[in-house]
Amino acid sequence: MLGSGTNLVTTVIGFGMSATFIVFVCTRIICGRLRGGVESRMMYEIESRFDIEQ
């Protein structure tokens, strides 16, 4: 009796943590693309020029 209840609680906690992690990662990716689209291109160009000069 107690074992099945514990399994259910463990399953729900694991699912919740997995879902939270997936949402966190997707949010970071989306925000990074929205914020850094232009900035990352500019930084890439600056770094490329610096590498060529060396």
Residue pLDDT, tens place only, 4-45: 788 999 999 999 999 999 999 999 999 988 887 666 566 666
What pLDDT, on the 0 to 100 scale, is given for residue 27?
A: 95
SS3 9: helix
Residue 1 pLDDT greater than 60, yes or no? no
Global confidence as pTM? 0.57
- Distance CA(42)–CA(33), nearest Å, equals 14
Q: 34, exposed or middle or buried, with CB in 10 Å at 0-12, 13-18, 19+?
A: exposed
Residue 48 pLDDT greater than 70, yes or no? no
